[in-house]
Amino acid sequence: MSGIVTTTGVAFVNGIRVHYTRAGSGPLVILLHGWPQTSLCWRAVLEPLAADHTVVAPDLRGYGLSDKPSTGYDKRQMAADMAELVRTLGFDRAAVVGHDRGARVAHRWALDRPEQVERLVVLDVVPTREMFRRLDASVAAGYWHWLFHLQPDLPERLVANDVRGYLEYFFERWTYNRHGLDPDAVDAYVRAYSRPGALRAGFDDYRAQDQDLALDDDDAATGRKLVMPVLALWGSVGLPSRLPTLDIWREYAEDVTGAQIPDCGHFIAEERPDVLLDHLRGFLAEGRGR
């Protein structure tokens, strides 16, 4: 028995209800999930991290048990939701860990509010702008779902009749350690994306691409970079492993370290939680030592 109590809560931020799971005490760590998951994806790392941190894993706007409004899926707004959540919980600063879409929210959050994000971890992504700059045949083959999700109405129509089949395609193709996505977790994700508005909200996250790229282009034009320490981690199977991922992040941040996670696909927190925890503990400890 760990003795760590895990609770759930709901915060009203920026006009929406945001569901979160919380454990531990101490400096705040925020864990941001990606698509097609919810905050459940952090189940194997939340309590171990909570041994010496307050750890909060929210469902992003449009996901899980959080509200699914018809607007607000650009990363600036989604990051503002998380910034308000931190204030609502009574904290001034947080270390932020983001995976997939959550990493894109975390990236924007850290750019817009560097005084609030003290350390940043990005899992299995390169910056959105960089991905489209490198959109050759290989990248397009790996990220075909982006282009599909961008289409109005069509993804909802085609996916709604077989949510499980669609999500399990990605859980099969994007993993190395498939046992990490156990049947109970997959069932929970299927239920989450079968809720009213959930498919549309998840696709709207992608459909905010033009707004997100415009912000990224503004940052590039002004030379603005991430100023806090950044840790970039990616699985040994998947597109980031075929790109100079660490070099790419060093173009977007002043202080970057990183590593490839061996024998791992896209879903790092579920496939290799032990290795992820080792990296996170070391990175977070560096912050306490400053």
What is the CATH number for 24? 3.40.50.1820
pLDDT at 2: 65
Order of strands, sheet of 256-261, starting from the edge strand that comes earlier in the sequence = 6-13, 16-23, 54-58, 28-32, 94-99, 117-123, 230-235, 256-261
What is the token pair recorded at 136?
């050759």
pLDDT at 198: 98
What pLDDT is stored for residue 22 in this prediction?
98
d(CA 285, CA 26): 13
Measure the CA–CA gap between 104 and 86, rounded to whole angstroms.
18
**Would you name the residues annotated as active-site residues?**
100, 206, 266
- Cα separation of 201 and 197, whole Å? 6
Q: Please provide residue 19's backbone torsions phi and psi, each rounded to the nearest 5 degrees.
A: -85, 145
Whether 128 is in a domain gets the answer yes
Please report whether residue 100 resides in a domain: yes
Q: Does residue 19 sit within a domain?
A: yes
Tell me the residue type at 201. A
Q: What string of pLDDT tens digits covers the 290 residues of the chain? A: 468 999 999 999 999 999 999 999 999 999 999 999 999 999 999 999 999 999 999 999 999 999 999 999 999 999 999 999 999 999 999 999 999 999 999 999 999 999 999 999 999 999 999 988 888 888 888 889 999 999 999 999 999 999 999 999 999 999 999 999 999 999 999 999 999 999 999 999 999 999 999 999 999 989 999 999 999 999 999 888 888 999 999 999 999 999 999 999 999 999 999 999 999 999 999 977 65
Crossing angle of helices 198-207 and 183-193, in 10° steps, is 80
Take residue 70 and report the two structure tokens written for it.
């018809």
Looking at residue 135, what is its pLDDT? Answer: 80
pLDDT reported for residue 1: 44
Phi then psi for residue 94, to 5 deg, are: -155, 150
Q: Does a structural domain hold residue 54?
A: yes
pLDDT at 238: 83
What pLDDT is stored for residue 3 in this prediction? 81
Return the half-sphere exposure (C-beta side, CA atoms, 13 A cut-off) of residue 18. 27
Does 1 map to a domain? no
Can you read off the two tokens belonging to residue 240? 């980031």
pLDDT of amino acid 172: 95
70 located within any domain: yes
- CB of 190 closer than 8 Å to CB of 202: no
Residue 242 has a pLDDT of 87
Domain carrying residue 269: 6-288
Q: Are 100 and 171 in contact (CB under 8 A)?
A: no
Candidates 167, 152, 172; CA nearest to 237 is 172
Q: How many domains does the chain have?
A: 1
pLDDT, position 290: 54
Output helix, strand, coil percentages for the chain, rounded to the nearest 5.
Answer: 50, 20, 35
Longest Cα–Cα distance in the chain: 52
